[in-house]
Structures are given as structure tokens and as C-alpha cells.
């Protein structure tokens, strides 16, 4: 499985966001490791992209930092966008896609099979 999504390196994105959250609360890797019951080496390996997180580890970090898990996967330009704005943008994107797909299906059904 690729660690890239739409040209974005997911492991790198998570590592940057974890380090950002950790630095925002002025914790060392060792302090964070103690608080979330992981080893300091594990925190270092995640932040240095040597290892990736499990679902349990994602939940530990999200709970500790009191953020939704998806915030660890946001690109830098969306770090400080309010959560309600992110939800609205996502909703609008999904609605636009759904309308487009339904419109295309409708047009294709009205046209009928193409003649050769």
C-alpha cells in the first residue's frame, strides 16, 4: 500500500502534525511518551517517519491532545482553519460531487445508448 494520497506523503503529514501538537503544549518527546504510555523511541520514530501509527496510537494522541483524529492528517494550510469551516468545506465538496455524478447519470439515461 502506498503512503501517498493525491501526491501527499501521509507518514510525513502525520509526523509534522504530531510534532506541531507536541510543541504547542511545550512537551519533549519523552514527556509525551510518558503521558500516552509509549516509548520515547516510538515518538521519535513516528516524528522521524521511521514508523507509522496504529489506530490505537492515533486514538491515544487524539485523546491526549483533545482533537479529532483527522486533524493529524491536515495539510499545513488548513492547520488553523476552524473545525466547523472544515466540515462545511467537506460537506460542500461531497455534495458537489454527488450532484455532478447524479447529473451525469441522468444525462446518460436520457440520451440512451449511443449509436455507432
Domain coordinates of the chain in residue numbers?
Answer: 1-77, 81-116
Cα–Cα dist 108/87, whole Å:
32
The enclosing H or E element of 101 equals: helix 83-111
61, 54 in Cβ contact below 8 A? no
According to DSSP, residue 3 is labeled: S
Cα–Cα dist 6/57, whole Å:
24
**23: nearest Cα among 55, 65, 81:** 65
Quote the CATH superfamily of domain 1-77.
Answer: lambda repressor-like DNA-binding domains (1.10.260.40)
pLDDT tens across the length of the chain (116 residues): 456 566 678 899 999 999 999 999 999 999 999 999 999 999 999 999 999 999 999 999 999 999 889 889 988 877 766 777 766 777 788 788 888 888 888 888 887 766 55
Please state the separation of Cα 103 from the chain's center in Å: 30
Amino acid at each position: 500500500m502506498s503512503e501517498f494520497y493525491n501526491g501527499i506523503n501521509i507518514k510525513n503529514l502525520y509526523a509534522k502534525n504530531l510534532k506541531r501538537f507536541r510543541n504547542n503544549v511545550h512537551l519533549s518527546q519523552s514527556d509525551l511518551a510518558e503521558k500516552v504510555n509509549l516509548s520515547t523511541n516510538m515518538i521519535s520514530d513516528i516524528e522521524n517517519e521511521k514508523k507509522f501509527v496504529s489506530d490505537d496510537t492515533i486514538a491515544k494522541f487524539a485523546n491526549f491532545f483533545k482533537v479529532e483524529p483527522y486533524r493529524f492528517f491536515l495539510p499545513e494550510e488548513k492547520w488553523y482553519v476552524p473545525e466547523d469551516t472544515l466540515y462545511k468545506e467537506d460537506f460542500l465538496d461531497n455534495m458537489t460531487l454527488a450532484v455532478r455524478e447524479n447529473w451525469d447519470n441522468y444525462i446518460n439515461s436520457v440520451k440512451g445508448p449511443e449509436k455507432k
